[in-house]
A and B are shown apart, each in its own frame.
Chain A
Amino acid sequence: MLVDVPYIPATALEVEAQRAFEPARTSPAFARRLAALALRGGALAVFLGVLIVFSVTAPFFLTVGNIGNVLGQSAISGVLAIGLTIVIIAGGSNVVTGGIDLSLAANMGLSAAVYASLAQAGHGDGVAVLGALVTGLAIGAVNAAAITLAGIVPLLATLAVMNVVAGLELVLTQNTVVPASSEFLSALSAGGPLGIPVLAYILLGFTLVVAAIVQYTPLGLRLYAVGAFPDAARAAGLPVRSFVAGSFLASGLCGGLAGILSVSYLSGSTTGAGDMLLPVVVTALLGTVFSRRLVPTITGTLLSALFVGFLVNGFQLLNISSTLVSGVQGLLILLVVSATTLLGRKENA
């Protein structure tokens, strides 16, 4: 109200009150619902369309073996994308000021290097696993401190940490491949029941556990509240900063786990972990369109990890240059982010 009203006669007030409120049912809400529905439907249609095109053009595409293959190949990026999803849920999905963890791929690289170095130094798998997980957690803690204590936006804080971590990896490995092999590692990279790789089962199991926590417990619900509307979370008595810090710890841990998986997949630690960043960001952002409310979800992220995996796999089967894949992934980010941002803007209007 523009006018600061010291006193209004009651009659005028009532008229004011009645005039100010138009019929309650608003059509913008309906339009938004429709647009959200179209986006979700469109995403699923594209997913199915891609599957159909590839299965028609590439002979082995829709075999159990190939699907298992894709799942196994997506395990590392899938675990990382789940970590990123947790950060996005707790930080909000604003692309600039919201939650993002750019250090995840580098985290995986360093954790893998730590694992491989420890293994090479003669330590057992238990120590190496612990080393990788602690490395990941420590990186997460640095991110959490920079963001919640120093108040740096996640985009910048994790960008800086990414570079520090990548540098540490170079120092540790002297930019070389550190081979590692053990029974534990070969068991991870072996084929499992139904000829599907063990890594695929690990991805499914991990998704199940995290999804149970994030989608089905009070903790998860509060995580969403903190990210979507911090003021409301605060008013509900939730410690907002602890939740945000916790999300970075969780994603750091995901980085450590992904490091272990990558050591087993590649039989050692290799350079170039940073290349993983783009597919991970695509996967986490794309996951949003697979949920009813257009929010990031763990199951949505699994679906989009599979989508990205199938896309890469299909390109390989059709002998299309893999250099195109990055371009397609970049395009996907643009599409998804602009679609969800436009929807969000409509909601606020």
Chain B
Amino acid sequence: MAESGEAIIRLENIVKRFGGAQALSGASLAVARGSIHGLVGQNGAGKSTLIKLIAGLHRADGGAVEIDGKSYDRLTPHLAEELGIHFIHQDRLLVPTFTVGEALFLGREPRIPGTPFLDRAAMRRRSAEILERYFGVSLPHSALIAELSAAEKQIVQITRALIADPKVLVFDEPTAALVRREADLLFQLIRRLSAEGVTILYISHYLGEIVDLCDTVTVLRNGRDVATLPVAETSAAKIGALMVNRDIGELYPKSDVTPGEVILQVDDLVLAGRYEAVSFSLRRGEVLGLTGLVGSGAKEVVRTLFGLDRPTGGTVSVKGETVFSADPAAATERRLALVPEDRRSDGVALDLSVTENTTLASLGRFSHGLINRGAERRQTEDLVQRLQIKTDGVDALVKTLSGGNQQKVAIAKWLSRQSEIYLLDEPTVGVDIAAKVEIYRLIGELAERGAGVLVLSSDIEELLGVTDRLLVLFRGRVTRQFISSETSPDQVLADVTGAYETLLHAG
């Protein structure tokens, strides 16, 4: 923490919880006046939460906030603005039915002198001037925000902050919607603003940008800051290493299971326009990982296996029997289980009890015309204990459970169905770290009991920790297969992003 004496923004030991999940657990950040300060971390590390806290959109559950040497109990958007802190949020907060001028001046509208009326002509003129000065662009003055491109909206958003003559400008993933040329313009602008004395807090996934642009960088991991370094003394690779949790061993309890017979065999599976020639096999006791960018086809492969999409070619066989149907009911019949990504809308029924959710897919076993409540309860109590689901009882509504425990209920549903092939789609998104470990342990147990488990995840570290093998999809094809225990995250990442392939294609 260098230059802490002249920190313009200082956060100490900030704690923030959302329901059961802890987004920040003791994060600190000190931004020196006049510097360009980078903030990096993986998805879910707490970057956006920290920013929204400074913006006054969230309130911290614990810790101290100090701006310009004065401490504040509670920041509001208005107060933050008064203190000269302005934000370029990731999601563009512009009213879609406004013109560019209206959007730029909302909240500090120019008036026709001596009247209470808006000076629309001045708004038009000044917005055109400012856009021209900072970005060298002109937007049609009658255009509505809804009609602008993503980059143009971003420009309007940044210009909005500049009009206010800010002391601190916070950029939250500003280049995510910009093309190269626009991003370069933005970097020039940021350097110019910094030279004029504006303090910049810059949040990005892109370490290349951080290294190019920033003076100092703070790395967040799992809701706390793990390091604050001068950029001159570090490198993108070092920052990357800090972002990744290295003590993988404790996090991923992995049991040794010798894979048995092939339980799921996929040959040359094709879904036109989505993926092609996907082949792999899954054995009993094996955990197979699947990963890829959005649009790589990984998600669609899982959907197809569960019968949600009808493949246009290829075969899927379960326990040696070829399956053709595109029908989830038939899939469950064949002991396939899907734990979907969006568990709150697809995975569990929030307003039903733990018991009802657990037996939902296997009611046939518990009913002969009428549901046998006793048997249903016994089964649920057994599963609640086995999976260590934390609940007030089997009659508690699922919506009262934490994210991780909801996920366990979603898995319990399929255990009750006596499924043998588990397709888990992003099983740990939005659950806290303790529940994550339990879910990993559960995956291991499923494998131990002779099930085949397919895990689709975008968290590569997690995949390498829990799986035996890992398939990477890129643009609809399986481009690489890794043995998880012999692979590092960087290697997988190169394939996921198609670092080499795209260069060839893009030429």
Q: With A and B bound together, what is the CA distance between A228 and B89 in angstroms? A: 18
Tell me if B366 is interfacial: C-beta within 8 Å of chain A. no
Enumerate B86-116 residues with CB–CB distance to A below 8 Å.
Answer: 87, 89, 91, 93-98, 102, 106-107, 109, 111, 116
Interface residue tally for chain A (C-beta within 8 Å): 50
Complex partner residue of B87 from A18, A26, A222, A235, CB under 8 angstroms: A235
Given the contacts A4-B459, A6-B42, A218 and B111 also touching, CB distance less than 8 Å: yes
Q: With A and B bound together, what is the CA distance between A58 and B291 in angstroms? A: 72
Beta-carbon contact of B502 and A234 below 8 Å:
no
- Chain A interface (Cβ < 8 Å from any Cβ of B): 1-19, 21, 24-26, 29, 32-33, 212, 216-222, 224-225, 228-229, 231-238, 293-295, 347
14 further interface pairs, Cβ-Cβ under 8 Å (given A3-B497, A8-B206): A2-B296, A2-B298, A3-B496, A7-B237, A12-B494, A12-B497, A17-B179, A18-B180, A25-B149, A32-B147, A217-B117, A224-B98, A232-B93, A235-B57
A8, A14, A216: residue with the most chain B Cβ atoms closer than 10 Å: A8
Beta-carbon contact of B98 and A10 below 8 Å:
no
Beta-carbon contact of A5 and B205 below 8 Å:
yes
Beta-carbon contact of A229 and B293 below 8 Å:
no
Interface residue tally for chain B (C-beta within 8 Å): 72
Complex partner residue of A8 from B175, B499, B506, CB under 8 angstroms: B499
Give the A-B contact count at a CB cut-off of 8 A: 171
Collect the chain B residues with CB atoms within 8 Å of residue A235's CB: 55, 57, 77, 87, 89, 93
What would 19 A/B residue contacts be, using CB atoms closer than 8 Å?
A: A2-B292, A2-B294, A2-B298, A8-B499, A9-B494, A9-B499, A10-B208, A15-B506, A17-B183, A19-B502, A21-B151, A24-B152, A29-B146, A212-B117, A224-B97, A228-B97, A231-B91, A235-B55, A238-B106
Beta-carbon contact of B292 and A216 below 8 Å:
no
A-contacting 9-mer, from B62-70, B190-198, B238-246, B371-379 = B238-246
Given the contacts A3-B293, A19-B502, A237-B107, A8 and B179 also touching, CB distance less than 8 Å: no
Beta-carbon contact of A293 and B97 below 8 Å:
yes
Complex partner residue of B95 from A21, A29, A224, CB under 8 angstroms: A224
Enumerate B135-172 residues with CB–CB distance to A below 8 Å.
Answer: 144, 146-152
Enumerate B206-226 residues with CB–CB distance to A below 8 Å.
Answer: 206-208
Q: With A and B bound together, what is the CA distance between A32 and B97 in angstroms? A: 13
Beta-carbon contact of A7 and B94 below 8 Å:
no
Collect the chain B residues with CB atoms within 8 Å of residue A29's CB: 146-148
Interface string of B27-69 (1 = CB under 8 A from A): 0000000000000001110000000000101000000000000
Given the contacts A13-B208, A15-B502, A221-B109, A7 and B459 also touching, CB distance less than 8 Å: no
Collect the chain B residues with CB atoms within 8 Å of residue A236's CB: 77, 93, 106-107
Tell me if B503 is interfacial: C-beta within 8 Å of chain A. yes
Q: With A and B bound together, what is the CA distance between A1 and B89 in angstroms? A: 17
Collect the chain B residues with CB atoms within 8 Å of residue A13's CB: 206, 208
Collect the chain B residues with CB atoms within 8 Å of residue A21's CB: 150-151, 177-179
- Chain B interface (Cβ < 8 Å from any Cβ of A): 42-44, 55, 57, 77-78, 81, 87, 89, 91, 93-98, 102, 106-107, 109, 111, 116-118, 144, 146-152, 175, 177-180, 183, 205-208, 236-237, 239-241, 243-244, 291-294, 296, 298-299, 458-461, 489-490, 493-494, 496-499, 502-503, 506
A298 to chain B, nearest CB (A): 14
> Closest chain B residue to A347 by CB distance?
B146
Q: With A and B bound together, what is the CA distance between A32 and B144 in angstroms? A: 12
Complex partner residue of A4 from B150, B207, B241, B460, CB under 8 angstroms: B460
> Closest chain B residue to A16 by CB distance?
B497
Q: With A and B bound together, what is the CA distance between A24 and B296 in angstroms? A: 23
